[in-house]
Structure 1
Amino acid sequence: MEFSQLLLLCLPVAVLWVLAAADVVAPAKNSGCPNTSWCGDVEVPYPYALDKECAIHSGFHLNCSTVGGTSMLLYTDAEVTKISVKENKAWLKTPISRQCYNQSTKRMTYNDTWVNTTGTPFVGSADDNKVTVLGCSNGYKGNPYIVGGCTDIDECQDNVTYPCAGICKNMPGASMGLVVLVVAITCAYSILERRRLHGIKQKYFRQHGGLLLFQEMKSQQGVPFKMFSEEEVQEATDRFTEQRVIGQGGHGKVYKGVLKSNEEVAVKRCMTIDEQQKKEFGKEMLILSQINHRNIVKLLGCCLEVEVPMLVYEFVPNGTLFHLIHGNHRRHISLDTRVRVALESAEALAYLHSCASPPIVRGDVKSPNILLNDKSDVYSFGVVLLELLTRRRPFNLKGPEHEKSLSMVFLEAMKENKLEDIIDDGIKKDENLEFLDEIAELAKQCLEMCGADRPSMKEVADKLGSLRKIDLLVGMLCWDHVTNWAVA
């Protein structure tokens, strides 16, 4: 019974010949020769041809023979089943090559039917020609079809086939040494690469003050501050996938993460860090973690073994003040809710400025991120008050020049006694106007151009607290349930 297999031939040389022939011969093929011929169901495109005079080279001449009433395209004695000029390949059918062990004669029998491509523009395709080999592994001999049939070859007994210039010592399997060597090299590379990465992480850890932080944590027993590894943070955030982003600013991105303990956290991945602050960074984070205020987001830990440190905070699920004021779903916000948000934020900031040791100083103030520093922060807090009063954005770049800045619009309205024109309609009632004037006056003080003329954050918080307690609010404001706000 005759078995067949597909043999693929690559044509890299043929492509070069076609290009070279085009430079010296015009036209590329003899006039009168067809672009394509057919042999049965097989297409024969140029540069192949059934006519020797039409082929670009004698090696591309194919025969179309009739066998048993069926047309068959032949290359030498092999059947061609397909030709692709685009892929530079031709598919040939040849009988299967065999190499078998004869138990009676104890010899191997061969039947090699490989197509001879010597002197032709073809080479065998190493990518497409796949063969299955059955037999004993290199370095072994015997019958592979029975258990224990393959036995070790003693290379020391055959100096002709296995020459050895030194002292010969037989090892199990001639190729086992190579396998062991490859495995050993792979393992060694893996270990060295792991050590290299560990060294880089340790370098960053030291640069960011990790050793100082570790010593401080050791001296302060029971500090609930954790140093996270890079792997822990990556696993918590699904390797910082964009679907996890919950905030973005000029200093970095904030991702929602879930620790192995199922605790939800917010991971801040900073973009840069001040070179002068690197050594003290870890120690400063420990100080920040000890801040305990109900309206300040708790810092749980940090990761220092990366180029730019990452901070891990508790997760606050209710979004930001910016989303409440300017979000797409503009639900009603009562005046009392707005005053309470302003008061509790001011109390948190006053705590950072006055009660924290040392005082916490920062200058990135906006409704999505209410964490401020001293007198310069008072100005920015005044802008937040305006957002609460007017429900307008701090900047309107698409508007007229005189309306682009909310603070400038507000100060102009105060100057012309037209405050009512910019107050949000949701809180603009006759009985609220006197109270709104008080809030507006406080915002105006916060917006003083000279920092020395602005009140402190504690004075702002005290003023808001007293305003909220006055009898003017009783009976006029409806207390609605809103989850406590946190300073992020």
Structure 2
Amino acid sequence: MAYCSDFESKNTVRDACSGDGCCQSAIPRDIKYYRTRAVWNANDGDPSGLIRDCTYAFVGEQDTFRYNRSMNYSSDPTFIKRVEDNIPVVLDWAISNLSCAEASATTGYACQSNSICVDAFSGGYRCQCKEGGYEGNPYLSPGCRGMGLALPTIVIVLLILCFIALKRRLKEKYYQENGGAILKDILKSKGGVSVNNFRVEELKEATNNFSKVIGKGGHGTVYMGTLKETGQPVAIKESKIVDEKEREDFLNEMVILTQINHTNVVQLIGFCLETKVPLLVYEFIPNENLYHHIHNTNTERLSLDARLKIAYESAGALAYLHTDARLPIIHRDVKSANILLDESFTAKVADFGASRLVPLGHAGINNKLIEGTLGYLDPEYFRTAIFTDKSDVYSFGVVLAELLTGQQPINLKRRPGEQNLAINFLKAVKNDNFVGILEEGMVTEATLEQLKTICDLVCKCLNPVSEDRPSMKEVMMELDNLRKWVKQTNGFSGQNYIETSSDKVEIMEPTFHSIILSK
């Protein structure tokens, strides 16, 4: 699903289809049918209906499409005014719908002599000349013809030698462009956590030529591998870098990651600068992420004690980044999918692709483009485009709401006005109906007073005014106290509830007043 926000926003960058007035979604491979559908979200505003009337979708080749917000259509002939404008489309093709094995047994088999058949991804097949000096058209008689053996051998040897020399020069070029010499000097002078400088061949061998993808997102692709020398499983992140500014930012982040040493932050093992974009090598965390354990019905349910433990450890990691790291770091993509769990369900905060250092004397980071994950973003960040440590606190509040309710941050299947978990949670607590929004079974693990206190903490984090939110260190300390309180209770005795049916719980006592969320 591609999500477009308010069309009238002034923050859109030319040529960027980033979700602000224009959004795009890749078409998966190997499909034989594709249909687009535009659905208007009434929560986004636009009482005039302008956006709905002007919304359209089309298929096009992504590298040639340009998006221009300019209202002066005549000044830019490439501006997409209507669907009938020309947009290139790239099509894949194959012969028939038979595989090579099936087609070779038929009279209509298209591959001529000295050619081989290759199965196409979406069914059907193609033909190509055999290797070893054959050339020609594999579809037309007499097919492919072989060249003399001596000349091809000499040519191949020369090409191999040229390729090796070019490859060596290319790796050196990438190493310098990625700041290898600068990074080496910085690490030597600053010390910090010991990390390895891997060669690309080592990582190719560890990942079977980067064949096993275990994660993919807006900031890069993550591969799983095993280091040959130590046998240690690792996760290798290939980041998306498109310009020099982002390359410099990535270098700074890499330096900072070498300074981080926290139990609940995924450990950086090393890096590789011999590729077009730098590769980061992290410890591999085997027990999926928190999102999986909350929302996957096939996993064993997490107890309230386990949830509070995970929340406390995650809050501790974020508090460390905000206040105890050498330079303050704002994570900028706090969500349950970025909290990994090891075999003992210890939390490990991961994915620093969006993270930024906070310069001395600054309270936050000013972004021209709104970036982040829908449902977790601080509403004040939407208004100001300034991301602060309190924006991380808001996102963490959404994670806490997920832990308590088992609901997803955004669910378009819910009724209009009820699709946002954070808003629903605040309403429920304000109306003294917090029990009704909690996950089934939660009320059997703590007293009503304890659940109310936990919900109040979530509401503090979700406060629309960032200044009124607690710091991550305060959140961590309160979660620690809550864990101890719930453990001391040693379960829930049942005195506050009377079970009236299998799916209904009636509140008897005590009665709590609504909290006030605004000044």
Q: Smaller-chain TM-score range?
A: 0.5 to 0.7
Deviation digits for residues 83-120 of structure 1 (CA, Å, limit 9, x no counterpart): x999999xxxxxxxxxxxxxxxxxxxxxxxxxxxxxxx
Would you say the 8 A contact 1:335–1:477 is kept in 2? no
1:332 aligned onto 2:301:
yes
Question: 2-side partners of 1:273 and 1:87: how far apart?
Answer: 42
Measured on the aligned residues, the alpha-carbon RMSD in Å equals: 3.3
1:454 aligns to what? 469
Distance 1:333 1:432, change over 3 A: farther
Would you say the 8 A contact 2:262–2:317 is kept in 1? yes
Distance 1:351 1:86, change over 3 A: closer
2:489 aligns to what? 474
1:194 offset after TM fit, Å?
Answer: 1.9
2:208 aligns to what? 238
Show the 5 A alignment for 1:297-446. Answer: 297-370=266-339, 371=349, 374-429=389-444, 431-446=446-461
Distance 1:285 1:126, change over 3 A: closer
Would you say the 8 A contact 1:245–1:254 is kept in 2? yes
1:454 offset after TM fit, Å?
Answer: 1.0
Would you say the 8 A contact 1:201–1:306 is kept in 2? yes
Deviation digits for residues 427-452 of structure 1 (CA, Å, limit 9, x no counterpart): 11385221111111111011111211
Pick the aligned partner of 2:223 from 255, 271, 293. 255
Question: 1-side partners of 2:208 and 2:490: how far apart?
Answer: 50
SS at 1:246 equivalent = strand
Opposite residue 196 of structure 1, the aligned amino acid is L
1:209 aligned onto 2:179:
yes
SS at 2:241 equivalent = coil
1:382 offset after TM fit, Å?
Answer: 0.1
1:361 offset after TM fit, Å?
Answer: 2.1
1:421 offset after TM fit, Å?
Answer: 0.7
Would you say the 8 A contact 1:334–1:426 is kept in 2? no
Name the structure with the higher strand share: 1
Would you say the 8 A contact 1:212–1:283 is kept in 2? no
Opposite residue 316 of structure 2, the aligned amino acid is E
SS at 1:401 equivalent = coil
2:261 aligns to what? 292
Deviation digits for residues 357-381 of structure 1 (CA, Å, limit 9, x no counterpart): 1122221121010457711110000
SS at 1:296 equivalent = coil
Question: 1-side partners of 2:157 and 2:491: how far apart?
Answer: 75
Deviation digits for residues 38-62 of structure 1 (CA, Å, limit 9, x no counterpart): xxxxxxxxxxxxxxxxxxxxxxxxx
1:414 offset after TM fit, Å?
Answer: 1.4
> Which consecutive residues of structure 1, in runs of 5 or more, have no partner in the other structure?
1-83, 90-123, 130-174, 479-488
1:126 offset after TM fit, Å?
Answer: 8.9
Aligned pairs, number? 312
State TM-score, norm by structure 1: 0.58
Show the 5 A alignment for 1:70-109. Answer: none
Question: 2-side partners of 1:283 and 1:86: how far apart?
Answer: 57
Would you say the 8 A contact 2:241–2:247 is kept in 1? no
Opposite residue 161 of structure 2, the aligned amino acid is I
State TM-score, norm by structure 2: 0.55
1:394 offset after TM fit, Å?
Answer: 0.8
Question: 2-side partners of 1:88 and 1:290: how far apart?
Answer: 59
SS at 2:443 equivalent = coil
Would you say the 8 A contact 2:446–2:492 is kept in 1? no
Show the 5 A alignment for 1:50-89. Answer: none
1:274 offset after TM fit, Å?
Answer: 5.5
Q: Where has structure 1 moved over 6 Å in runs of 4 or more?
A: 84-89, 124-129
Would you say the 8 A contact 1:245–1:256 is kept in 2? yes
1:193 offset after TM fit, Å?
Answer: 2.1
Would you say the 8 A contact 1:333–1:426 is kept in 2? no
Would you say the 8 A contact 1:301–1:312 is kept in 2? yes
Report sequence identity in percent: 43
Based on CA coordinates, which of the two structures has the bigger radius of gyration?
1
